[in-house]
Amino acid sequence: MRYFEDIQIGDEQSFGKYSITEEEIIDFGKKFDPQPFHTNKEKAKNTSTGTLIASGWHTCAIFMKLFVDEYLKGGNGMPSPGVDNISWLKPVKPGDTLSVRVTVSSLRRSKSKPNRGIIKNFCEVINQNHETVLTMFTNGFVPIKNPVKITK
């Protein structure tokens, strides 16, 4: 488990490899984002994308899997207050292999919860051609080793 005291602004980690298949793209699209360019290879040819592409939400889900497995090492037991500024920069296509780069952009102690810090990470999902396909800022809580009791 990583603790607040062990993290510095600017810390960067790159990790993970996930290869996405046509079948996964279609399955996710049919379940959660049923637009033709996510659900049908032939119909996708007649859309603005011209080809089958993964839903941006599918790309976010892949990011989350890699983030939890590699960065959080299975989780830290604290929920996230959210994400900011999701941008889908390039389409993800069948056969693409995705990896993640995370850079700590801010870090502070919680004013109301003395047992945790608040971390903001700039996150990038990158394809096998070293092209950034998605960016976002994640906000998270991180445990403090020796919390100071707040008195009022």
DSSP characters over 11-53: -EEEEEEEE--HHHHHHHHHHH---HHHH-HHHHTTSTT-S--
| pLDDT tens per residue across span 83-127 | 999 999 999 999 999 999 999 999 999 999 888 999 999 999 999
Question: pLDDT band for position 76 (50/70/90)?
Answer: low
Tell me, what's the pLDDT at 16? 93
pTM over 0.95: no
Domains and CATH numbers, the chain: 4-143 (3.10.129.10)
Tell me, what's the pLDDT at 59? 98
How confident is the prediction for the chain on average, in pLDDT? 92
Q: Which phi and psi (to 5°) does residue 62 adopt?
A: -65, -45
